[in-house]
């Protein structure tokens, strides 16, 4: 069945169908990422002046296998933690 025909039968726009399709294909957040994100948040609250390097070290000390690239997660969730001198 064509997309055009299916959208007519379901009484939805083609644009709406493609938007729904795009959203449903997004990768769900992995449970490991969610756990690390929560731990990043805990570290950021506990040590508000820590930047990504110190947060990475603290996560390693807490037993998480992370590298500095996890800071991208930190940025994505808008956890601004570092304050200038």
What is the torsion angle, in degrees rounded to the nearest 10, for the CA atoms of residue 38, residue 41, residue 57 and residue 46? -130
- The domain segmentation of the chain, as residue ranges, is 31-76
Copy the structure tokens of residue 2. 């064509």
- Residue with more model confidence, 75 or 36: 36
Q: pLDDT tens-digit profile of 13-65?
A: 988 888 888 876 656 667 777 888 888 889 888 998 988 888 888 989 999 88
Question: How confident is the model at residue 84, as a pLDDT?
Answer: 56
Question: How confident is the model at residue 23, as a pLDDT?
Answer: 75
C-beta atoms surrounding 47 within 10 Å: 13
Instruction: Write out the H or E segment, with its range, that includes residue 37.
Output: helix 31-46
pTM: 0.53
């Amino acid at each position: 069945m064509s997309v055009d025909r299916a959208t007519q039968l379901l009484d939805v726009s083609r644009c709406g169908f493609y938007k729904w399709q795009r959203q449903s294909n997004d990768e769900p957040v992995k449970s490991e990422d969610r756990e690390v994100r929560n731990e990043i948040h805990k570290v950021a609250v506990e040590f508000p002046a820590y930047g990504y390097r110190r947060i990475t070290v603290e996560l390693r000390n807490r037993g998480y296998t992370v590298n500095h690239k996890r800071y991208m997660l930190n940025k994505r969730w808008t956890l601004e933690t570092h304050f200038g001198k």
